Amino acid sequence: MAHVTSGRANFTYDDLIKSNSIQVPQSFIPKSLLKQMLMRENELRLSDEYQKQFSEAEQSSSSSWLDVVNELQKQVIREFHLDEEMGAALLCLRCATQIYPDLKEIPLYTKYNRAIDGNLQIGDIVPNVPIVQLDGQEGQLFDGLKSSSSTVLIGAHAQDEWPISSARWSPTQMPIKYNQTRTVEERVAVTRDFIRDFNLEIPVVIDKPDENLFEKLYSSWPVRIYIIDKDHRLVYKAQPSETMLELRELIDHLKMIAESTKIE
């Protein structure tokens, strides 16, 4: 999970919930200058040079695209001749949209960041939302799934929104680059590529692009794992930490459910 204000790492959903209560720093950088710095940061993020650096960083187990962002933001500070106040200037840049909320549509990492903890809590009966199956047929989430395990594909870091050129988890060893999908046909095409490349064998359905109700009600962006029992009650909700999901926690929870089912 990337930091809601800067795209930096080490930011959990718990931090996200508390972020509104964090004291906003005062800026010694004029608003007009901060705006120019944010626009320059976007230019660098989208440049071929930095997209290449993102890709290279993602190929290493000891680095990530977020490390490149750190250096990129320092470059912005230097270009605006604020490097003598590097620490304070970085803080102002990364918190610019908290200091000046009307700037939030400028940085890619706030404009396209849809991560929220959501309202679903353990024990809740979860909503049955409209989905589309890969043959184009519309249905309901619970009615359309034929297995106890299933995936609803959610796209993050689209190439035309917030690209990071990452191949970290790609079986093809090539950066995954897709534009944001806006039609059923586009989503089905991307989903079929995903199933092919990752050799996925569990059912996959897609959120209806004209409503995106699954994402809105399940707060699934950029990645989430839920366990829902046969009565449609939420029994597990993954909480990403430091950009990752802890699969060991999920496995232990599934084992616990399996054992309790045997006892019953």
Say yes or no: 133 and 96 in one domain: no
* Domain-embedded: residue 74: yes
Say yes or no: 93 and 156 in one domain: no
Say yes or no: 258 and 133 in one domain: yes
- The residue out of 89, 112, 135 marking a domain boundary is 112
- The residue out of 85, 112, 139 marking a domain boundary is 112
Q: What is the pLDDT of residue 260?
A: 77
* Domain-embedded: residue 118: no
Residue spans of the chain under pLDDT 70:
1-24, 144-155, 241-244, 261-264
Which residues are bridge partners to 1 per DSSP? Answer: none
Say yes or no: 21 and 47 in one domain: yes
Q: What is the pLDDT of residue 170?
A: 87
pTM reported for the whole predicted model: 0.81
Say yes or no: 99 and 222 in one domain: no
Number of domains in the chain: 2
Say yes or no: 174 and 203 in one domain: yes
Q: Which domain holds residue 168?
A: 124-262
- The residue out of 112, 142, 170 marking a domain boundary is 112
Q: What is the pLDDT of residue 106?
A: 97
Say yes or no: 132 and 191 in one domain: yes
